[in-house]
Amino acid sequence: MALCLGLATTGVLILLGLLEDRSEWASYQRRYAELAGTQELGGPPPASDVRPEVLQINLPDLQRVDRCTSCHLGVVDPRMSQAPLPLTQHSSLLTSHPPTAYGCEICHGGEGRAVTVAEGHGETPGQHSRLLPSGLRPSRCYLCHGLEGLPPQETAIVAEGVKLFNLYRCLRCHQIDGAGGSIGPDLSVIASQRNWIQIYAHLLKPDALVPGSTMPAFGLSRLQATALTAYLLTLLDKREAVRDASYLAMEATPESIQTSTVVPEGSRGSLAPGYEGRQLFEGLECLVCHRVGLRGGSVGPTLTHIGLARDGPWLRDLLVDPQAAFPDGQMPEYDLTEAQVTALVDYMLGLR
């Protein structure tokens, strides 16, 4: 009996090792070693010698654990300035916001504890923690720095959201921190209760998200809905918001900033994970707004036969830049990668 149990345990461990070896982050780590190791003596070992491991940043002061750098290995490595995602170097913002002190989730959203791309970016159905598109990221800047701690343009979208919130007299029905009405739900921590997609869609057509809702549809434009969403995303539970001034004043440590300027050769190839169109469509919660068959919402147009109504180039243009493709539309910008766009277009072309 003990022998059988030992053999079974050994088999399970071997299987887990094989699965881990084939994970997305393991392949990215090998590719990173491949790119960096060819540039200088003393660099990372050859890819064949790399032992992949989950890289974890513990942030006890923020009550967070961040594993994003298991895939995003080149964020503070200038040699990776021309490398493909997820190995590319981050902007110079990391000189004052080193990952070792802040992690990635605090600015970008998503699920920092995850070890798969889909879960890390919030691409699974019903997931609350979702990667924020660039148009909504100023909400995170505002959370830490307020409206006066940065140049006005950095948090302009949040300031516009505050203006619209007051213009539409939202506090007549809703409360924030005890102030306001009681007809609608309390919004004090709405960003801890709903993800950005749900908030955005609700603003456009409330009764489509909450049947019987008494909240009026204000006929918001894409920019107005984005601005209001950006402001509402700042209304977080205290456990999620960062407001410790002493922590925010931390400076980057010298070891967190590399100075090498060597650029990896041949680094522009795609390292994108494989996407299955329908799974990505549902994971990005497109069904919150759109209906396919008998499933989905009614905020946006029905997509049941979109493959007959639109061609591939039009769908691609819409996904890449909704504002340019459909100026009067209300679809938000997602900051999709080329691999994601291709998968979604292929899926929608098959809806006939």
Per-residue tokens: 351: 């809806």
How many C-beta atoms surround the C-beta of residue 171 within 10 A? 15
Shared domain for 106 and 141, answered yes or no, is no
Question: What is the residue type of 291?
Answer: R
- What is the rounded distance in angstroms from the CA atom of residue 64 to the CA atom of residue 106? 9
pTM: 0.82
109 and 146 fall within a common domain: no
Domain around 124: 20-132+251-256
Report which of 113, 227, 246 is spatially closest to residue 218, judged by C-alpha positions. Answer: 227
Secondary structure (DSSP) of 231-284:
HHTT---TTT----HHHHT----GGGS----PPPTT--S--PPP--HHHHHHHT
Q: For residue 263, tell me if it sits in a domain.
A: no
Does residue 37 sit in the same domain as residue 109?
yes
Query: Looking at the domain assignment, is residue 13 inside a domain?
Result: no
Q: Which of 222, 256, 290 is the last residue of a domain?
A: 256
> Of 170, 199, 232, which marks where a domain is finished?
232
> What does each of the 352 residues of the chain score in pLDDT, given as a tens digit?
666 665 555 554 444 444 455 789 998 998 888 887 654 434 555 444 567 889 999 998 888 899 999 999 999 988 888 888 888 899 988 988 899 999 999 899 999 999 999 999 998 887 888 999 999 999 999 988 888 888 899 999 999 999 999 999 999 999 999 999 999 999 999 999 999 999 999 999 999 888 888 999 999 999 999 999 999 999 998 777 765 544 454 443 434 334 334 434 444 445 656 788 999 999 999 999 999 999 999 999 999 999 999 999 999 999 999 989 888 888 998 889 888 999 999 999 999 9
Q: Are 93 and 65 within one domain? A: yes
Co-location of 144 and 225 in the same domain: yes
Asked if 158 and 216 sit in the same domain, the reply is yes
- Phi, psi angle pair for 260, to nearest 5°: -60, 140
